[in-house]
C-alpha cells in the first residue's frame, strides 16, 4: 500500500495503476487539451485518444507522464486532484518535433533544465474553490525540496488567468514566455509562460 501524507484535509500518495483513468483526465485538464490532441495523433483508426493516454501513463516508463511521476490527492474516498512532476535532466536536449504546438514548450523546458518541474496539476471542478490547488502546489514543493532541487518550475498559458493568478500568489514569478501555437480545439492564441519559485 503506498504511503500517504496529509495536508489541509487531503491525503497525498504515489499514484498506482488503479488511478490511470483519473490521471488521463488530469493531464488533459492541466494542459488544456494539448495531451489529448497529441494522443489522438498517436491513435490507431477508431482508437480513443484517452485509451492511448491511459496506456502511456500506465505502461511507458520512459515517458514523463508515467504514473511514477504522479501524486494523487484524496479527501476520504474521493479523488480530488493530482500533480505530475520530476526533475528535468541537465543538460536537457529535446528532439526536434514536427508538431509546432510543442516547439515553444520544449524551448522553455530546455531553459528549466535541472529544476523540479510541475508538468501537470489539476483539481476536479467539484472540488475547486476549497484551497486544494494551493495544497497540491505545497505538496509539489515538498517533493522538490526532498529531491534537493533549488527551483520549482511550471508553465501556464496567458489565457488561463485563474491559474496564473494562483501561481503568482503562491510565490512563483515569470521567467520567460513564448508564443502559443494553436491546435485543433485549443484556446485562442496567446503565450506560454514559464514560471519559477526559488526554494533555496
Of 74, 102, 82, 106, give the one whose Cα is nearest residue 27.
Answer: 82
Helices (H), the chain: 20-30, 34-42, 49-59, 103-111, 132-146, 161-169
| Residue 47: CATH number of its domain | 3.40.630.30
* Residue 12 confidence (pLDDT): 98
Distances (CA, A) of 176 to 73, 77, 80, 89, 193: 30, 39, 31, 19, 6
User: Which domain does 15 fall in, by range?
Assistant: 9-198
Number of structural domains in the chain: 1
**What DSSP element (H or E) covers 75?**
strand 70-75
**Cell matching residue 57:** 501513463
Asked whether residue 107 is assigned to any structural domain, the reply reads yes
* Residue 151 confidence (pLDDT): 98
Asked whether residue 147 is assigned to any structural domain, the reply reads yes
Asked whether residue 2 is assigned to any structural domain, the reply reads no
With cell 533555496, the residue in question is 200
pLDDT < 70 regions, the chain:
1-8, 91-98
Helices (H), 31-131: 34-42, 49-59, 103-111
pTM listed for this prediction: 0.91
Asked whether residue 4 is assigned to any structural domain, the reply reads no
Asked whether residue 48 is assigned to any structural domain, the reply reads yes
Asked whether residue 60 is assigned to any structural domain, the reply reads yes
Asked whether residue 182 is assigned to any structural domain, the reply reads yes
- CB distance 70 to 18 below 8 Å: no
Asked whether residue 121 is assigned to any structural domain, the reply reads yes
* Residue 150 confidence (pLDDT): 97
* Residue 2 confidence (pLDDT): 45
CA angle 163, 167, 168 (to 5 degrees): 120
* Residue 99 confidence (pLDDT): 82
* Residue 92 confidence (pLDDT): 47
Amino acid at each position: 500500500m503506498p504511503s500517504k501524507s496529509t495536508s489541509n484535509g487531503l491525503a497525498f500518495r504515489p499514484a498506482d495503476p488503479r488511478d490511470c483513468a483519473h490521471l488521463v483526465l488530469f493531464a488533459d485538464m492541466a494542459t488544456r487539451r494539448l495531451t489529448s490532441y497529441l494522443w489522438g495523433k498517436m491513435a490507431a483508426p477508431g482508437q480513443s485518444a484517452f485509451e492511448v493516454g491511459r496506456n502511456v501513463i500506465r505502461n511507458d516508463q520512459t515517458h514523463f507522464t508515467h504514473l511514477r511521476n504522479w501524486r494523487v490527492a484524496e479527501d476520504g474516498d474521493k479523488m480530488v486532484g493530482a500533480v505530475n512532476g520530476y526533475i528535468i535532466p541537465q543538460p536537457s536536449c529535446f528532439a526536434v518535433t514536427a508538431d509546432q504546438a510543442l516547439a515553444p514548450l520544449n524551448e522553455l523546458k530546455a531553459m528549466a533544465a535541472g529544476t523540479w518541474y510541475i508538468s501537470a496539476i489539476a483539481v476536479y471542478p467539484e472540488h475547486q474553490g476549497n484551497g486544494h490547488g494551493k495544497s497540491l502546489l505545497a505538496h509539489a514543493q515538498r517533493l522538490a525540496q526532498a529531491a534537493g532541487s533549488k527551483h520549482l518550475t511550471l508553465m501556464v498559458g496567458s489565457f488561463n488567468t485563474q491559474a496564473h493568478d494562483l501561481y503568482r500568489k503562491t510565490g512563483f514569478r515569470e521567467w520567460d514566455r513564448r508564443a502559443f501555437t494553436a491546435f485543433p480545439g485549443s484556446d485562442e492564441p496567446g503565450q506560454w509562460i514559464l514560471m519559477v519559485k526559488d526554494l533555496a
